[in-house]
Amino acid sequence: MDKEELKRRAAARALEEVRGGMKLGLGTGSTAKHFVELLGERVRLGLEIIGVPTSEVTRADAERCGIRLTSLDEIDRLDITIDGADEVDHHLDLIKGGGGALLREKIVAAASDRMIVIADESKLVDTLGRFPLPIEVIPFGLGATRRALQNAFTAAGCDGELKLRPGKDGHAFVTDGGHWILDAQLGRIPDAPRLAQLLSVIPGVVEHGLFVGMASTVVLAGADGIRTIERA
Ligand SMILES: O=C(CO)[C@H](O)[C@H](O)COP(=O)(O)O
């Protein structure tokens, strides 16, 4: 089956969790975009919800779909965030940030009672790390930040190259927050919680793409149907 169809099916399954009056975090990426479009169809039919987008791209998509938006300055908590992921392991830990929106995605997910991850089944892995781990950094002092990151990788039992994510016209990719992204080609992350802790305390690191203990439900769409994994 076409991958886009699988993503749309996962999005449709997550939509079944949405009720009128809910406050929703709206993720970023091609799978989350399916969710926003399906949600927009329900809104046009009269469903009343309000959303907080996790990127300027998602803001534009949601506005185009007629979804009412707000911010975390206006409201306190969200009921559910629905977002995609680059990798999901069996502990429901994630790598996110392939679309460059990890900082806002993590802030929005952390302000939510539930995080539902939607993906096609190819995103499920035994061990995180095949997908390069995005790390959002401040441009100032990049050399020092790179060295501290390499020390953290060693301490967490992994190793790999750091590549500055390219943007347009030979310049670095710039996030919605005005930062850069280093993609860490680690291959395998044996202890994601440990690495997440080590990365979080490095000056110059704004945020990293390891989402540990945040997802409450993962909806995986495959050729044989939909599988839902709940946090124990
Ligand atoms: O983390 C993300 C964006 O920062 C996305 O959720 C992740 O990259 C998955 O995207 P897609 O649904 O296009 O595979």
Q: 172: domain CATH number? A: 3.30.70.260
Q: Is the CB of 87 under 6 A from ligand 1?
A: no
Q: What distances in angstroms separate CA 188 from CA 69, 87, 131, one per listed residue?
A: 38, 12, 9
Q: Residue 60 is inside which H or E element, if any? A: helix 56-64
Tell me whether residue 85 is annotated as binding.
yes
Beta-strand runs (E) in 28-169: 50-53, 78-83, 87-88, 94-95, 112-120, 133-137, 161-164
| Closest of 157, 101, 167 to residue 129, by C-alpha | 157
Q: 178: domain range?
A: 133-206
CB distance 105 to ligand 1 below 6 Å: yes
Q: From atom 3 of ligand 1, which residue's Cα is the shortest distance away?
A: 99
Residues 139 and 119 placed together within one structural domain of the fold: no
Catalytic residue among 4, 56, 105, 230: 105
- Rounded Cα distance, 61 and 58, in Å: 5
Question: Is residue 232 domain-resident?
Answer: no
58 labelled binding-site residue: no
- 229 is a domain residue: no
Token pair in block for residue 86: 């680059």
- Asked whether 164 and 131 are in contact (CB, 8 A), the reply is no
pLDDT (tens digit, 9 = 90+) per residue, 97-144? 999 999 999 999 999 999 999 999 999 999 999 999 999 999 999 999
User: Is position 81 annotated in a ligand binding site?
Assistant: no
**Do 85 and 173 share a structural domain?**
no
Distance in angstroms (rounded) separating the CA atoms of residues 167 and 44: 36
Q: Are residues 152 and 170 in the same domain?
A: yes
Residues 159 and 53 in one domain: no
Residue 38 burial (10 A CB sphere; 0-12, 13-18, 19+): middle
- At 12-50, the pLDDT tens digits run 999 999 999 999 999 999 999 999 999 999 999 999 999
pTM of the model: 0.97
- Interface predicted TM-score of the whole assembly (ipTM), two decimals: 0.99
Q: Which protein residue's CA is at the shortest distance from atom 5 of ligand 1?
A: 29
pLDDT at 44 (0 to 100)? 98
For the question of residue 5 being annotated catalytic, the response is no
Same domain, 82 and 157: no
Residue nearest to atom 6 of ligand 1 (CA): 84
Segment 169-218, tens digit of pLDDT: 889 999 999 999 999 999 999 999 999 999 999 999 999 999 999 999 99
> Which conformational region is residue 128 in: left (phi greater than 0), alpha (psi within -120 to 50 degrees), or beta?
beta
- Of 55, 56, 86, 207, the residue with max ligand 1 atoms within 8 A of its CB, to mutate for a pocket test, comes to 86
Q: Is 98 annotated as contributing to ligand binding? A: yes
What CA–CA distance (Å, rounded) separates 219 from 211? 16
Give distance in angstroms: CA of 84 to centre of ligand 1.
5
